[in-house]
Structure 1
């Protein structure tokens, strides 16, 4: 008996093995759609449960993978209707000056979340061929942020067609619409897609010598609290964000002013990590004789200079991402 036939006959172990190879790529897809690690995990769980309940009616007119994506897409579209859209700081309010009040943390689930490259911290069943597939696909923070600005239906079409390479006919089947409607939505999505910050997005395993040198210099300047060195590394239009605090800073003068006045008031140490397929920094703040996890920071580069410093301060988020609480 085939694995599919056994699963359709009610064999739960056969079903688990049948979908195991698709879990990770579905998780990455749902993250792109929803901009949240937790929401993506919920969407995958709902997708797998719906697939189990509906497997007896699966008639193989499409591939199992395409059928699972149809379920996942419908799930993400429902969740998009019910949950707040994930945003970045400049979508929330205007920038501030270095000496301004930083505001009260916004704890509602509105902030775009980072995606950990170490997927084992999320789903232990991800050690399969789909893992390498998912890691090669674009999950850059700037790209995912831009996706969240699109209407959910356009977002789904763009990801399914352009990132996952489904045909227009397959996407039409997944969305229960026509090929013409899919092509029209694709055109609108491309016209509406605008990245909030223009960045170079090489993967961790694809950095060239210049990019590695720039990252090394940024980490070194940060750990030394070397503001002049930091200034040399930043683009004139650099932005610094730090959700859940609503404050963010725009331009090299305000960003370095904030670092000098507030960030570098205490010492820091850095551990290199990988998030959203890019080099990132787990930053530990010196407090009472020990270094405690303070932020996850993902620098974004353009032409060798830092154009966006995306820092995440929420301690609950940092704990869920599996980062050690102390250095």
Structure 2
């Protein structure tokens, strides 16, 4: 066999052994860094490093554990050089100041959390039970809380409690001791309990009640009808959006802000249903010069009665990431 043929055979074998883990590694990197864009780059770097060291991989660990070791360390290196990603609620308490529009935050001041397309994780043909588990571990509130953990504690908690690696396997992945893993997990759990003392019981995005809430939210925007939001938002609902500093607590405050500064006139907004972070979501478009231009993504937290949280990400680049066009024809 020629050198070229041997290299091609090795590459084919590498792809056959590793490609099936790409989706879960993408979710892992997102949990670690809070950015879908960065997660894509980090998984690409993971596979480049894995290919370079593939010849020396002798099966001393499972191929999956080996890839997670590389991916986790790639993430830890990236996190050492970047600020944590947050939502507005991670900066300060809810806004209770004078009535005024929300204020933009300068791009160099804050790194914002990003939503994650559900389609990146598990295709519909895969195991439905596995899909549910994957979605639950990507809930927006959980991802936001994880970003406030020290990076290595974050890695330990994800490896142990989301991915179900043993303490010994986690220690091997992180080049540390089992005792250090157990201690780190205990501290991470305690900190997570402080950040998210009561985890919300959310509906699956496929639940008809969740879709009804999303449809109601979309209708409120497309018709510029603040009254419809009364049927969507829970009394204690919260509303936040990037890249704005202020966020709002309580249905009355949320609806007032949207009605006063966002809804505009009927036909200003158009939204297309999707899913993100295991939650119902919509792609946002805004009317501009006779066409609807990409604006961002909005994600709802649906409970059995109404939405407890709305998070809007006003970043046009996210629309393409979710597989939607940048421009829609104006339907007027």
> What is the TM-score when the length of structure 2 is the normalising length?
0.84
The total of aligned residue pairs comes to: 315
> What is the TM-score when the length of structure 1 is the normalising length?
0.85
Answer yes or no: is the 8 Å Cα contact 1:89–1:241 preserved in 2.
Answer: yes
What per-residue deviation string (whole Å, max 9, x for no partner) do you get for residues 205-246 of structure 1?
A: 3x2x44343333333333333223312432233221121222
Q: Which residue of 2 aligns with 1:107?
A: 107
Answer yes or no: is the 8 Å Cα contact 2:101–2:261 preserved in 1.
Answer: no
**215-224 vs 62-71, greater mean Cα deviation:** 215-224
Q: Distance in 2 between the 1:129 and 1:201 partners?
A: 22
- Structure 1 residues 265 and 95, CA, compared in 2 at 3 Å: closer, same or farther? same
Question: What does residue range 124-273 of structure 1 map to in structure 2 within 5 Å?
Answer: 133=130, 136-137=133-134, 138-193=137-192, 194-195=195-196, 198-205=199-206, 207=207, 209-267=208-266, 268-273=269-274
Answer yes or no: is the 8 Å Cα contact 1:25–1:131 preserved in 2.
Answer: no
CA deviation after TM superposition for structure 1 residue 64, in Å? 0.7
SS in 1 for 2:280: strand
CA deviation after TM superposition for structure 1 residue 269, in Å? 2.5
2:300 is aligned with 1:299: yes
Q: Distance in 1 between the 2:82 and 2:127 partners?
A: 28
CA RMSD of aligned residues (A): 2.9
**63-72 vs 52-61, greater mean Cα deviation:** 52-61
Q: Which residue of 2 aligns with 1:25?
A: 24
Q: Which residue of 1 aligns with 2:283?
A: 282
What per-residue deviation string (whole Å, max 9, x for no partner) do you get for residues 71-129 of structure 1?
A: 11111111111111011112234544584243234324610100012329xxxxx8996
CA deviation after TM superposition for structure 1 residue 65, in Å? 0.4
CA deviation after TM superposition for structure 1 residue 166, in Å? 1.0
Answer yes or no: is the 8 Å Cα contact 1:295–1:311 preserved in 2.
Answer: yes
Q: Which residue of 2 aligns with 1:39?
A: 38
Q: Distance in 1 between the 2:139 and 2:291 partners?
A: 32
Q: Which residue of 1 aligns with 2:77?
A: 78
- Structure 1 residues 323 and 245, CA, compared in 2 at 3 Å: closer, same or farther? farther
Q: Which residue of 2 aligns with 1:3?
A: none
Answer yes or no: is the 8 Å Cα contact 2:297–2:315 preserved in 1.
Answer: no
Q: Distance in 1 between the 2:98 and 2:132 partners?
A: 37
Flag structure 1 segments of 5+ consecutive residues without an equivalent. Answer: 1-5, 121-125
Answer yes or no: is the 8 Å Cα contact 1:98–1:258 preserved in 2.
Answer: no
Q: Distance in 2 between the 1:62 and 1:32 partners?
A: 23
Answer yes or no: is the 8 Å Cα contact 2:204–2:278 preserved in 1.
Answer: yes
SS in 2 for 1:156: helix
Answer yes or no: is the 8 Å Cα contact 2:211–2:280 preserved in 1.
Answer: no
Q: Distance in 2 between the 1:134 and 1:54 partners?
A: 31
Q: Distance in 1 between the 2:126 and 2:307 partners?
A: 34
CA deviation after TM superposition for structure 1 residue 325, in Å? 2.2
Flag structure 2 segments of 5+ consecutive residues without an equivalent. Answer: 1-5
Q: Distance in 2 between the 1:134 and 1:214 partners?
A: 22
- Structure 1 residues 116 and 211, CA, compared in 2 at 3 Å: closer, same or farther? closer
Q: Distance in 1 between the 2:296 and 2:261 partners?
A: 14
CA deviation after TM superposition for structure 1 residue 196, in Å? 8.5
**145-154 vs 100-109, greater mean Cα deviation:** 100-109
What per-residue deviation string (whole Å, max 9, x for no partner) do you get for residues 170-220 of structure 1?
A: 111111122222122112111111339853333323x2x443433333333
Q: Which residue of 2 aligns with 1:123?
A: none
